[in-house]
Amino acid sequence: MKIASIIIILIGISLIGYSVTLEPYTNKTEYEEKYYALEGENRSEKFYELRETYLTEKYSFENYGMTFLIAGTFLLIFFFKGWNSFKIPKHKTIIGLIGLGAVLVTTFGYVGDLFLEMYRGRYPHWADSMGIPLASVPIIFIILFVWFALNLIGLTNPFKTGGLIRELNFKGISYWYAALLFLTVVFTGVLILEGDFWWTTAGFLWIYYYLSLLVGRREGKIENGKINKWTKT
């Protein structure tokens, strides 16, 4: 897995490097002339069609390059010592900080994407102020923070830190955290396919957060003698 992670990182760096050699538009001067000449009620629709016509693959390569770089880095960190040594954190505080980090990265990823796309010229100059989408940031943060805080209930006993991921099986697991983990893995996979590097970062943090809660609760049940460690379904 370590070699695979390094390969993914190198692919990401290569894509980013190649994107630097590309121009955003096939003919920037011609595009801007037509852009600023747009008029009429449907000029926004015309703008998006015009921009799509002149766009190169520069931003796509940038997005996928960053996505591969981030995904490869997380995998390298997770599996640096190999699958057999992949553990959840040894302290509950660290697990909580990972969850809080997921909240912050998800929230600021939304903000970062807005500003990046504005910088890339995705929005026409007559579009509404950035203040409108930014006004929803506090609401997004509060919702995510409440969700994160509610799931901290999983840290209550029975819970054991430092458990090995490889020893997890279906006997005695929390189906709630198993479902959250599964859905987050699928969603993160979709984000990777779409080249959304902002929320891919958040996705990996949420995955580790839910995985830690899942493993910790099962290990806690084992320690309390509620289930047999080696019994598998």
- pLDDT per residue over 133-158, tens digit each? 899 999 999 999 999 999 999 999 88
| pLDDT, mean of residues 162-168 | 85
Band (pLDDT 50/70/90 cuts) for residue 2 is confident
Sequence spans of domains, the chain: 87-233
For residue range 20-61, list pLDDT tens digits in order: 999 999 999 999 999 999 988 889 999 999 999 999 999 999
pLDDT computed for residue 85 by the predictor: 80
Q: What is the distance between the alpha carbons of residues 61 and 35, in angstroms, rounded to a whole number? A: 24
Whether residue 91 is predicted with pLDDT greater than 70 in this model: the reply is yes
pLDDT at 82 over 80: no
**pLDDT grade for 233, boundaries at 50, 70 and 90:** very low
